Amino acid sequence: MARKGKSPERERRPAPAEPPSRPRQAAERPADSAPRRPSGPRAGGPIWLYGIHPVKAALANPARRCRRLLVAGEVVKNLGPLPGGLVAEPVDRNRLDQMVGPGAVHQGVALLVNPLEAPELTAACAPADGARNVVLVLDQVTDPHNVGAILRSAAAFGVRAVVTTDHHAPPDSATLAKSASGALELVPLVRVPNLARALVRLAELGYWRIGLDADGPRTLAEAKPTGTGSVALVLGAEGPGMRRLTRETCDETARLPIKVTALVDSLNVSNAAAVALYELAREA
């Protein structure tokens, strides 16, 4: 969450401790960490995933179509059972180095997969009763390392889904999957054509929309709804932050209690997401 310039003032109304109830118009979904299920086509052709955790998670996901598995040495023993029809092909580590590029840590394994089919917003974000439901909304966060790290935190804190845009967002890729360390297979990554309309739909599903902003009038601890109220937490790109329409579609903005110094006035967006998710999970 980066500090940005002040936006023109607009009328603010004090947010209630408990957000107004909104009708839930979608079927309930179990709040577990089952592998992602398809609901629509995802653009793009097959991609190579690499690294033990991303490959192992993809192999265990029945929604993922695995096409080829290349392994060096005895690494196949660390991958668990293989899907029917898939055979581990022995390969030299030097070939894997050439395939994934310099500096990539492949750990002796690469898996060719089809992209996951795209989940639909309402189905992925339908709240479940009995616990706080959280959805992360990313406004033009473009770095695949950041999106992958956010997915990993989202999986750790039981986030329902991560919502981003069709454009100005990284595609599903080996870099994103490696940064997510398997979470790409667990947390629905929903891509929408219009973020403001998606936020309106989340409000209809019962989510209180909080935009994370260094200039927010209250801290996130003060702004979060009491009890198990659902939250859609919106994070903007580093530097410019949330776009104007995104900000105006939120119910309110809130800040993290960062101690600003001459050298540090903000957090990396993935770090900000992890801190914010902890705050939302923390009991008052």
Ranges of each domain in the chain: 47-113, 121-281
State what percent of residues in the chain have pLDDT above 70. 82
Lowest mean pLDDT among 37-41, 56-60, 88-92: 37-41
If one compares 266 and 60, the residue with the highest pLDDT of the two is 60
Looking at residue 61, its pLDDT comes to 94
For residues 274 and 40, the model is more confident at: 274
* pLDDT tens column, 1-33: 444 443 333 344 444 444 444 433 333 333 344
pLDDT of residue 233: 98
Min mean pLDDT across 34-38, 115-119, 217-221 is at 34-38
CATH H-level superfamily of 121-281: SPOUT methyltransferase, trefoil knot domain (3.40.1280.10)
Residue, of 134 and 27, whose pLDDT is higher: 134
More confident residue, 9 or 115: 115
Of residues 254, 59, 256, 269, the one with CA closest to residue 164: 269
Q: Provide, for the chain, the percentages of residues in helix, strand and coil under a 3-state DSSP scheme, each rounded to the nearest 5.
A: 30, 20, 55
**pLDDT value of position 97:** 85
Residue 252 confidence (pLDDT): 96
More confident of the two residues 132 and 283 = 132
The whole-number pLDDT of residue 156 equals 96
> In the predicted model, what is the mean pLDDT of residues 141-145?
93
Tens-digit pLDDT profile for residues 228-238: 889 999 999 87
Report the pLDDT value the prediction gives residue 42, as an integer from 0 to 100.
Answer: 53
CATH code of domain 47-113: 3.30.1330.30
- Which range among 8-17, 82-91, 144-153 shows the weakest confidence by mean pLDDT? 8-17
Band (272; pLDDT cuts 50, 70, 90): very high
Question: Per-residue pLDDT tens for 50-80?
Answer: 999 999 999 999 999 999 999 998 888 889 8
Q: How far apart are CA 117 and CA 40, in angstroms?
A: 5
The pLDDT value recorded for residue 14 is 44
| pTM value > 0.75 | yes
Q: How many CA atoms lie within 13 A of 63 on its CB side?
A: 19
Comparing CA positions, the residue from 179, 175, 173, 171 lying closest to residue 155 is 179
Average pLDDT of every residue of the chain: 83
Least confident stretch, 42-56, 141-155, 178-192: 42-56
| Residue 183: predicted pLDDT | 94
Is the Cβ–Cβ distance between 220 and 276 less than 8 Å? yes
Cα dist from 3 to 251, 252, 264, whole Å? 20, 17, 10
